[in-house]
Each structure stands twice: as structure tokens, then as C-alpha cells.
């Protein structure tokens, strides 16, 4: 499972917000301190720059507390902060030690912006800082000593590389943890959590593009008898077998997941009810014709399926699950091994309401 970029952004948001708040407090404190120090030395323009950045950071600190647009405020901090840093090192009064602040650029950039945008912003501002450094100290033989320059270049490169590697490693770890949290351990299919995330994303897309979206609820028939007759190992093997069948017979754009036990949910993207019924029938027939054996014994498997469509049967995942579940139990009552689609004149779930079924799924 490849994590969606929006999902990665959501995962990183608390981490980045904490870093931003800490940096804002540091910027406020250091801005006030260095503002007074520069004012005492007579460097009024530099003092005003420091105080202005401290005041701006105080405003940002208030703004980011409850914002839903953290990424925008991060850019609103980083770009002026780095620009003010460039202005500070470019002033005639700035000594070579002031360039030590430039080492914060790769660290702050990656922590707040991630590995891609963080690297772009880092390289841009490091290039500006390098140009300013060469222009200011081009005639100073002590500062431009090859060993001193080499040390600064290597140190800056190390911090940049380490920051980037850290972000790459953090992203991979979060993706792996997210995959584990959203995957059923037995079948390898998405679990309820992943189904919900996928549905919300595809519902938004279906609304934007005016495309249909359908849901199937599948339940393996007489599965308790499979466990009782052949053993739980055979039951687990049957679940894995059915999961593999779903993986091979559905499109890459669709999603099949395990709701629990022998019950599965399937989200069919860009699929209206009529096509969803055909897909359900194909799956039902494929399982009925399958040759699953355990210890030389044939394990017969069939399934019952309920079908629901977004907009027709409700607007939320809860709506569709309830309606499809109701039709699933109707299939059970009618003898199993069948698909129950919407019937002409059958009541529908109004928008925002849930049709009650024999069982609440989520």
C-alpha cells in the first residue's frame, strides 16, 4: 500500500506543528535579545529587523494554535525567516560568525516542509547565502582560507544530507506503521480503518467528477460449518484463498477489505448499480467454481452479497453499509449463494440518514 500524499501530510502535521511552535518561541526570544544587543552597539536597522521578526513570530504563534491550514502558516514563517536571515548576514555590520545561523536552514527546512519541498527551499537559500558570503569576504584572506571554507562546506553538506535522510527514514517508518495499522493480518487485505479512509477520498472524487460509486458487502456462507468440519486452519486458508481471489478479479482502482470474520467489503470506483451487480455475480460464480482443497478434501465455498450505491442508497459509508447489509441478510434468508440488488420501489436512505439493518457494521 502506497500512502496517499494527503495521508502523509496528516501524519506529519502534529510533528511539524510542535516543531513550528518551538521555533516561533525561539525566534521571539532571540529576536528580542539580539535586537537589544544590536541597538546597544548602534546597529539600528539590524535591531529593527530582529524586533520585526520577533513581533511577526508572536503573531504566527497565535495564528497556528487552532489553524486547519498549518502548511500555509509554515511557509508564512519559513520564507520571511530565511529571507530575514539573508538580510542579516548581508548587512555590513555582520561578522563571519553570523553565517553560523545558515546551518539552521537545512534542519528547519526539512523538519517543517518534508524531504522534497524542504530540500528545494534549503538549496535555494543556501545558494543565496553562499553568494553573499563570497561577495562579502572575497578579499579577506583569513576568512577565505581553503581549510576554513572546506570545513564550512563539509559541515553544511553533512547537516543537509543528515536532515534529508532523517525525513526519508521518518516517512518510510510512518508508511510502514500506517500499513500495519490498516491491514488485516491474516488476509493482507485492508481493514475497516483503511476502507473508511479510501471511501472518504473516493466519495469526494465521485462528487467532483460526477461519477458513481458502489459498495458490496460479501459474507461467506456456512463458514462456521467449514471451521467445524475441516478445522480452523482450513477456515483461515479459505479466508486467504478468497482474499487472493478478490485481489486478482477486481480492478486496481477498486478496494476490497475485510470487515471482520468472514465478512468483506468492496468499494467499486466509477461503478453504478447495474455494473456492480455484474461484478458481484462474477465474484460469486468464481468462488462457487473454485477448487479449494485442504488435506485432500474439497472445501465448498459460496457467498451472499448485498449491493448499494452512493447517492441512491445514502451519502455516507454508514448509510451504504447499512443498506448493503440489509440486502446481504435478505440473500441469506432467500437461500444464500446469491446477489441481492436494489429492488424497484425499495425504500432508499435519505441523505444524512441511516437505514437500519440487522447489524451495524461501523
- pLDDT, one tens digit per residue, over 310-341 is 999 999 999 999 999 999 999 999 999 999 98
Q: Which listed residue (171, 262, 263, 359) is catalytic?
A: 262
Strand order in the sheet with 263-269: 255-260, 263-269, 213-220, 303-309, 339-340
**Quick one: CA dihedral 108, 113, 116, 118, positive or negative?**
negative
Note the pLDDT tens digit of each residue in 176-208: 888 888 899 999 999 999 999 999 999 999 999
pLDDT at 246 over 60: yes
233 in active site = no
Nearest of 324, 287, 318, 292 to residue 303 by alpha carbon: 287
Q: What is the mean pLDDT of residues 146-160?
A: 91
Q: If DSSP codes are grouped into helix, strand and coil, which group holds residue 142? A: coil
Place of cell 482443497: 293
Residue-wise pLDDT tens digits, 42-91: 888 888 989 999 999 999 999 888 788 888 999 999 999 999 899 888 88
At 98 the pLDDT is 84
Q: Which domains does the chain have, with CATH numbers?
A: 5-181 (no CATH), 192-340 (3.30.70.270)
Q: Using a pLDDT cut of 70, give the percent of the chain over it.
A: 92
C-alpha cell at 320: 451504504
* Over residues 242-265, mean pLDDT: 95
> CA 25, CA 28: separation in Å to the nearest integer?
5
Average pLDDT over every residue of 146-163: 91
Query: How far apart (Å, rounded) are the C-alpha atoms in residues 348 and 307?
Result: 12
Confidence class of residue 5 from pLDDT cuts 50, 70 and 90?
low
pLDDT tens, position by position, 77-128 = 999 999 989 988 888 877 888 888 899 999 999 999 988 999 999 999 999 9
What phi, psi does 252 have (nearest 5°)? -65, -25
Instruction: Measure the CA–CA gap between 46 and 113, rounded to whole angstroms.
Output: 28
Q: Are the C-beta atoms of 292 and 247 separated by less than 8 Å? A: no
Q: Is residue 285 classed as helix, strand or coil in its secondary structure?
A: helix
Q: What's the grid cell of residue 6? A: 494527503
How far is CA 144 from each of CA 41, 150, 153, 345, rounded to the nearest angstrom? 26, 10, 12, 85
| Largest distance between two CA atoms of the chain | 92
Alpha helices, DSSP H, located in 41-100: 44-63, 70-90
> Taking the model in full, what pTM does it have?
0.65
Measured torsion, CA atoms of residues 170, 176, 180, 183, in degrees rounded to the nearest 10: 130
Amino acid at each position: 500500500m502506497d500512502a496517499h500524499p494527503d495521508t502523509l501530510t496528516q501524519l506529519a502535521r502534529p510533528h511539524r506543528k510542535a516543531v513550528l511552535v518551538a521555533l516561533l518561541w525561539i525566534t521571539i526570544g532571540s529576536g528580542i535579545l539580539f535586537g537589544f544587543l544590536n541597538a546597544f552597539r548602534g546597529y539600528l536597522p539590524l535591531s529593527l529587523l530582529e524586533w520585526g521578526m520577533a513581533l511577526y513570530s508572536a503573531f504566527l504563534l497565535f495564528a497556528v494554535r487552532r489553524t486547519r491550514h498549518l502548511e500555509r502558516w509554515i511557509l508564512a514563517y519559513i520564507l520571511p525567516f530565511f529571507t530575514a536571515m539573508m538580510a542579516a548576514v548581508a548587512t555590513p555590520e555582520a561578522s563571519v560568525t553570523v553565517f553560523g545561523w545558515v546551518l539552521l536552514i537545512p534542519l528547519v527546512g526539512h523538519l517543517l516542509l518534508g524531504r522534497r519541498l524542504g530540500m528545494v527551499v534549503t538549496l535555494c537559500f543556501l545558494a543565496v547565502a553562499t553568494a553573499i558570503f563570497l561577495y562579502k569576504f572575497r578579499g579577506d584572506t583569513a576568512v577565505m582560507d581553503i581549510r576554513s571554507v572546506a570545513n564550512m562546506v563539509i559541515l553544511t553538506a553533512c547537516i543537509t544530507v543528515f536532515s534529508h535522510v532523517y525525513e526519508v527514514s521518518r516517512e518510510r517508518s510512518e508508511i510502514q506503521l500506517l500499513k500495519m495499522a490498516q491491514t488485516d493480518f491474516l488476509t493482507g487485505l485492508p481493514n475497516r480503518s483503511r476502507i473508511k479512509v479510501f471511501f472518504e477520498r473516493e466519495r469526494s472524487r465521485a462528487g467532483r467528477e460526477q461519477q458513481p460509486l458502489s459498495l458490496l458487502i460479501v459474507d461467506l456462507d456456512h463458514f462456521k460449518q467449514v471451521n467445524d468440519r475441516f478445522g480452523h486452519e482450513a477456515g483461515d486458508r479459505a479466508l486467504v484463498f478468497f482474499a487472493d481471489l478478490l485481489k486478482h478479479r477486481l480492478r486496481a482502482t477498486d478496494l476490497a477489505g475485510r470487515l471482520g470474520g468472514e465478512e468483506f467489503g468492496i468499494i467499486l470506483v466509477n461503478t453504478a448499480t447495474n455494473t456492480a451487480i455484474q461484478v458481484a455475480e462474477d465474484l460469486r460464480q468464481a468462488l462457487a467454481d473454485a477448487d479449494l482443497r485442504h488435506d485432500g478434501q474439497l472445501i465448498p465455498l459460496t457467498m451472499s452479497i448485498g449491493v448499494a450505491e452512493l447517492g441512491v442508497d445514502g451519502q455516507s459509508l454508514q448509510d451504504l453499509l447499512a443498506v448493503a447489509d440489509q440486502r446481504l441478510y435478505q440473500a441469506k434468508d432467500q437461500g444464500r449463494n446469491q446477489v441481492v440488488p436494489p429492488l424497484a420501489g425499495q425504500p432508499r436512505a435519505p441523505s444524512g440518514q441511516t437505514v437500519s439493518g440487522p447489524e451495524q457494521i461501523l
